[in-house]
Structures are given as structure tokens and as C-alpha cells.
Chains A and B, each alone.
Chain A
Amino acid sequence: MSIDTRTTQRHHRSAPAPLVRPDYRQRMRLADTLQVLCIVSVALVVALFLDDGGAARFATPADALTSIGVLAGLVGTDLLLIMMLLAARLPAIDRAFGHDSAMALHQSLGKPALYLILAHAVLLIVGYSLAGRVSVFAEVWRMLTVLPDMVLAFVGLGLLVLVVVSSIVIVRHRLPYEVWHIVHLLSYVAVLASLPHQLTVGALLAAGSPQWFYWLALYVGVAGSILVFRFIVPVVRSLRARLRVEGVDRVADGVVSIRLSGHNLRRLQAHSGQFFIWRFWTPGLWWQAHPFSLSAAPTGTSLRITVRSLGDASAALGGLRRGTRVSVEGPYGLFTDRARTSPRLVLVAAGIGVAPIRSLLETATFLPGQATVILRSHTVGDSYLADELAELCRARGAEFRIIAGKRPPGVNSWLPAEALAARVSLKTLVPHLRDADVYVCGPRRWTDEVVRDARAAGLPTRQIHCERFDW
């Protein structure tokens, strides 16, 4: 229960000031463009509706209901397509936002998209039954039997409901990840099943019209992107890299480092701090895919990850044999030196989050004396890779602190009780915090607390980077 505040920095002779990568502006421009495109795409589908004279179709209640229903369908489908693009592992999206932020947005769009599509179905059924003066059931029956492609549309809606329900937190945690993933892939089927009725029912997307072309171009673009970046590129990359397990080293109880070897890995263009999604081809593990960060800087022939081998899923990782084939998807992640905006550096890690921090430390740009590494653990001895971190800090002239101690009960803080009582914070630990980029990796709640602390110290968000693994 002590706060270890030993400093281990050494002073080296001054080296020329390293150039902090100036592509921040470029990245933000890309991010801005992508965000604008997203919003304009929604405006465009509403404009499709208006362009067809939709604004005039609110005269009677039945008309108003059907018009709102059509709008809901248009916007909901656009959101679904955006969601699919977010999950398609587009390099541009990863470069601008990082894969984890993209997936966070993907998750948050799920329920609104479903509500809009449900509203679309309900409002149109009610609106048509009002207009045709029939009961709702008669109208549904008519839709299924008379209108083209409606059976498929209802099937698509059902699948969509299934996918979203299975992704609600409560349900998702009960399902094994792989089962949940397969159900989730049904969303592709749902979207495809609903495409025919969008083109054939009603004249908004009449065949041959500009709207029809735009709509089809959207679908083709999304499908093409998914096919290329989600499926083809990872497969090709893996085949070329020919990764094999080189060895497994025990780091601590239940934690191992896996070393991998491959060919011409520079082609992967991986950077320290990034992660891959790994698939190990053994009978017990081939059907699982895990996201793990690199725990050492990637070289042309080797990669290393450090993982917890607890629980049925990961237990087998500890027993991987040398020569096992490995395939990867990636590299993904914005948790890299390329996201730097400031000369100083603060790396904060806890638990297995130390892995990307360790690789970052190896190649991050900073002058001696301008970096601090903070390791949070329960006891001084139970942090992983601490010796490697210490060694690297010694070699590179970075300050190394281990903050050990139990979480204060009932209070949200990333620091242990004594530190909290002593009014320790990021600001007190790192005097020149305002000039630093802060990289945080660890359990989710804890990471949020570190970020909160950094924000409270006045750091703008562009200087705070964190990696989330809970998608």
C-alpha cells in the first residue's frame, strides 16, 4: 500500500528536438469531411423525399402518416448503411477516428436505426389502412399478398429486430461471443432482404430515375467497401504475412506474451500501439477472433502480443504450440504516435492495458526528460511487463512511476485511497501536463476516470488518447 514515486530518469546529452508528427490537421480535416458526409447523406435522403413532391403530401392524416413513414424508412436505412460502413474497417475511418470510436458510434446508432425502421413499418401500415379504409390486419394481408417483395421486407425487419435485441447489453453478455457475432452478421441479410421492396413499391425510387441510381450507388458502395476491406484485404494480408507462433513466454500468473514470426511484415504497415484481430488455427481456437494490441514495436519479421489467458476462451492461448498458423485482420487503432500533437508524453496503464503502452514506449517520439510512464496496480509486484517498462524508461530517459494500492471504496477514482487523500492527480504527477499527449489504456471505468482527471486539468480532447476494448 505505498505510492512508489521513485524517479528513474536520467539526463542524456541533448538531442535535436524530435518532430512531432504534423499530420494532426490533415487527420482532423479527414475526420471533418467524413462527419459532414455522414450528415449530408441523411439530408440527401430527406431531399429525395422532398424532390418527389413529398412536402405537399401532408394534407390528410392518412397522407401525413404515410409521408412520415416513408421519411422514417429513408433515414433509418441511411443510418443502417452508415452503421455498416462504420463496421467495414475502412482505412480512412480508422485513420481519422480509430476503429474503436467508429464501433462506439456504430453501437449507439443501432437503436435509433431500428426505431426508425419500426416506425416506417407501423406508420405505413396505419396510413395505408386509413387511406384505404380497411382494418390494419387487412392492410397487412394486402401488403403481403399484393405488393411485390413485401414478404422479404417483413423478413428483413424481423431479422433486424433479432440483431438489435441480441445486441442489448443484457442479452449480449449471456451469449457466447461467437454466437452473438453470427446473429449479428444476419444484419447483412436483413438489409439485403429489404432492398427489393424499396425499389419496387411506390414510385419514389422509380427504376431509371436519378434517385434510383443514387440509392443503388449507395448500396453498391457500401457492399463493395465491406467486401473489400472487411473480407478481402484481411485475407490477402494474412496469406501474404504467413504468421506463425514463434514462442509463448509466461509473464505472470495467467498472462503470457506470444511472439509471432512472419514474412515482410512491413507491408502490414503496423505501428506501435495498434491492435490486430487474431485468429489462431488450432482445433480449439480457430473459430474465435480476438483483438489484442501489440506489446512490442513491430518489426519486419516479428510481432508480439501480451494477453491474459484466463477463462475458457483465452486459456488455450497459454498452450499455443510453436508453428501454429495465425491469421490477422488489421492493423487498426489510433492509439499511436501518429496521433501526437504535443512534445511531451504521458503513458498511463493498468492491468493488461500495459501492452500497447509498452510498444508505444519503444518508438514514441520524445526527448529524454519529456515523458512519464504511470503504471497502476494493486500491489507493487503484480503489474505486468513492469521490468520491460522500467528498462525502456531507463534507456530512453523517461520517468517511470508505479502507483499501487486498492481502489477507494465508494469513490470513483483511478488512484488508490491514499493518493486520493493526498490530493494526488495527474497534474501533480506530471507538472507540464498541458504540453503533453496522454495515452491511457486499461479497464474501461478506470480509463474513464483517468480521462476525467486529464480533462479537469484542462487538457483538450485532442491531447487525450485512450483505447477501448469493450466492443
Chain B
Amino acid sequence: MRIRAAAAAALASASVLSVGWLVGVPAVESLRSTLTTTLSSSASAEATTTTASGPGTSSAATTTPETTAPAAEAPAATEVTGTFDGSAVQTRFGPMQVSVTIDNGTITEVTPLQLTNDDQKSVMISNRAAPILRDEVLSAQSASVANVSGATYTTQGYLQSLQAALDAAQF
């Protein structure tokens, strides 16, 4: 190769590689930025904050798509509190989407919603059902339970069911 050609090739390759690098580096960062933009644009529309009746503990407000809660006065973006779904981001295997819990502007938890594994399938990270012993299963304060779920009972079966007992209790 002539020197001229070698120099031109080196220069062109270097610029191509650096462009690729620059475009690629933010790809991992883009998740945060899409979330931030999602937050600031949706904060005014959807976020509601409720104050607990308890002493000054901050509460995390929830936005659920089903509830059409009337919008309280829109909090400033930095004071946003809530759980938001980020937009899907392309990764080497496919789309990835997470749900993020924000507490007063700081991300406190990131939950994966969908991740495409190398099978090209969406995978909930580590959400497999695994064997569990009865005493390992979650048991909240049983006194607070108002509803029982089991195989559907008929009207007849209701009378003998746990639910009937709970329904009769005065909460």
C-alpha cells in the first residue's frame, strides 16, 4: 500500500471507530435518561402524593393505570415520588424495560419488567417458581386478612367457606 493510501485508511478508520464508540457509550446510560425524561413529562400528569395519617413518614405514591386519580397539584420534578415504568430500551438481545421506584427524586429501587435473554424471549429476572416449604411462605399478620382466595366456591360452598367467616367479621 502506498503511504498516502495507508494514511487515508488509518484516518478514515479512526474516525469511523470513534463515531461508533461515541454513539455506543451512552447506550447503557440511555436507560437513566429515558427514565428521567419519562418522569419529568409524566410527573405532572400522573403522580399523586398522599400523606399518611401517621407521623411524618414519607409515603410512596402509586400510579396505576387503572385508577384515574385526580391530579393533585403537580409536584416539581425533583420532588417526584412514585413508581414508574421506563420505556423499553434496545439491548444486544432485545428490548429491556424496568420499573423504577423514586423517592423524592432519588431512585431507590429498579425492578426489571422485561429482559430479553439470548433466547430472544422476554425473561422476568429470577422470577421462577421454585419449591418452597410451607413455613417459608409469606404470612402477613393474619388478623389483617379480609379476603381468601381458593378455588371458586359456589353460593352453597360460600356458606362453609372461610370467606363467609371473614365477611361476617367486623372490620
A–B contact with Cβ pairs below 8 Å: the answer is yes
A interface list, Cβ under 8 A from B: 28, 31-32, 35-36, 38-40, 42-44, 46-57, 128, 131-132, 146-148, 200-204, 206
Given the known A-B contacts A40-B9, A43-B13, A203-B92, are A147 and B119 also in contact in the complex, defined by CB atoms under 8 Å? Answer: yes
Contact yes or no, B92 A56, CB < 8 A: no
Inter-chain CA distance A140–B17, complex, in Å, is 32
Q: Mark B1-19, 1 if CB is under 8 A from A, else 0.
A: 1101100111011101101
Task: List 23 interface pairs A-B (beta carbons < 8 Å), by A numbering.
Answer: A31-B2, A31-B5, A35-B1, A39-B9, A39-B13, A40-B13, A43-B12, A43-B13, A43-B17, A44-B16, A50-B24, A51-B20, A52-B24, A52-B92, A54-B24, A54-B92, A55-B24, A148-B120, A201-B118, A201-B120, A202-B118, A204-B92, A206-B94
Contact yes or no, B25 A56, CB < 8 A: yes
How far is the CB of A338 from the nearest CB of chain B, in Å?
Answer: 19
> Among B4, B19, B20, which residue has the most Cβ atoms of chain A within 10 A?
B20
Is chain A's interface secondary structure helix, strand, loop, or mixed overall?
helix
**Residues of A contacting B99 with CB < 8 Å?**
none
Contact partner of A203 (CB less than 8 A), chosen from B4, B9, B24, B93, is B93
**B143 touches A (CB below 8 Å):** no
**Residues of A contacting B118 with CB < 8 Å?**
128, 131-132, 147, 201-202
**Residues of B contacting A32 with CB < 8 Å?**
2, 4-5, 8
How far is the CB of B29 from the nearest CB of chain A, in Å?
Answer: 9
Contact partner of B92 (CB less than 8 A), chosen from A28, A35, A43, A57, is A57
Given the known A-B contacts A56-B25, A202-B93, A204-B92, are A28 and B12 also in contact in the complex, defined by CB atoms under 8 Å? Answer: no
**Residues of B contacting A51 with CB < 8 Å?**
19-20, 23-24, 27
Contact yes or no, A48 B8, CB < 8 A: no
Minimum CB distance partner of B96 in chain A: A203
Contact yes or no, A146 B13, CB < 8 A: no
Inter-chain CA distance A31–B8, complex, in Å, is 12
New A-B contacts (6) at CB < 8 Å, excluding given A46-B20, A51-B24: A32-B8, A56-B27, A146-B119, A203-B92, A203-B93, A203-B94
**Residues of A contacting B12 with CB < 8 Å?**
36, 39-40, 43
Is chain B's interface secondary structure helix, strand, loop, or mixed overall?
helix
Contact yes or no, B92 A202, CB < 8 A: yes
Contact yes or no, B5 A55, CB < 8 A: no
Inter-chain CA distance A50–B14, complex, in Å, is 13
**B104 touches A (CB below 8 Å):** no
Inter-chain CA distance A219–B136, complex, in Å, is 57
Contact partner of A53 (CB less than 8 A), chosen from B17, B25, B94, B119, is B25
> Among B5, B23, B94, which residue has the most Cβ atoms of chain A within 10 A?
B5
Inter-chain CA distance A43–B19, complex, in Å, is 11
> Among B2, B92, B93, B116, which residue has the most Cβ atoms of chain A within 10 A?
B92
Given the known A-B contacts A53-B27, A204-B92, are A48 and B20 also in contact in the complex, defined by CB atoms under 8 Å? Answer: yes
Inter-chain CA distance A52–B25, complex, in Å, is 8
**Residues of B contacting A40 with CB < 8 Å?**
9, 12-13, 16
**B59 touches A (CB below 8 Å):** no
Contact yes or no, A35 B90, CB < 8 A: no
| 8 nearest A-B residue pairs (beta carbon) | A47-B20, A53-B27, A43-B13, A50-B20, A32-B5, A39-B9, A43-B16, A50-B24
Inter-chain CA distance A35–B8, complex, in Å, is 10
Inter-chain CA distance A52–B20, complex, in Å, is 8
**Residues of A contacting B90 with CB < 8 Å?**
203, 206
Inter-chain CA distance A447–B118, complex, in Å, is 55
Inter-chain CA distance A147–B116, complex, in Å, is 13
**Residues of B contacting A46 with CB < 8 Å?**
17, 20
Minimum CB distance partner of B91 in chain A: A203
How far is the CB of B27 from the nearest CB of chain A, in Å?
Answer: 3
Inter-chain CA distance A55–B23, complex, in Å, is 11
**Residues of B contacting A28 with CB < 8 Å?**
2
How far is the CB of A27 from the nearest CB of chain B, in Å?
Answer: 12
Inter-chain CA distance A38–B94, complex, in Å, is 31
